[in-house]
Amino acid sequence: MSYILLKHAHITLAATSVSFFLIRGLWMLAGSPMLSRGWVRHTPHLVDTLLLSSAIALAGMAGISPLSSPWLGAKIGALVAYIVLGSIALKYGKTRLSRLAAFIAAIGCFAYIATTAVTKNPLFFL
């Protein structure tokens, strides 16, 4: 697979992943029974697995590693935060307020990841 095709697939998967997260977050805030449907619980795992696989393949094709590229290391760290915050927002938060706070923080992490990917600068905000 060509690098450009894989990069576009990765971008599409990232957009799909965050779209699913936004929809599930809105359903969580509304108390929707949609969250308990099987496809709603399983589809994001498939999308995220493909997203991570494409990221690893892109890094391999480009010959970069998190240790040699600070921006990639920052993205991985923010990804871990995004996963933890997303889990709190959608599943483990004990109160509606804690879930909302985690949801907003997770969206912020995603924005950081995307902007760091585009700028290749983990400190783009300075």
Give domain status of residue 12, yes or no.
yes
Give domain status of residue 126, yes or no.
no
Rg for the chain (alpha carbons), in Å? 15
* 33 CA to centre of own chain: 23
Closest listed residue to residue 1, CA positions, set 65, 69, 50 = 50
Give domain status of residue 28, yes or no.
yes
Q: What is the pLDDT of residue 103?
A: 97
User: Is this prediction's pTM over 0.75?
Assistant: yes
Residue 37 is given by DSSP the state: S
pLDDT-flagged residues of the chain (< 50): none
- Total number of domains constituting the chain: 1
Q: What is the pLDDT of residue 67?
A: 86
Give domain status of residue 125, yes or no.
no
Q: What is the pLDDT of residue 1?
A: 76
Give domain status of residue 124, yes or no.
no
Q: What is the pLDDT of residue 66?
A: 86
The domain in which residue 83 lies consists of 3-119
Residue 16 near residue 9, CB atoms below 8 Å: no
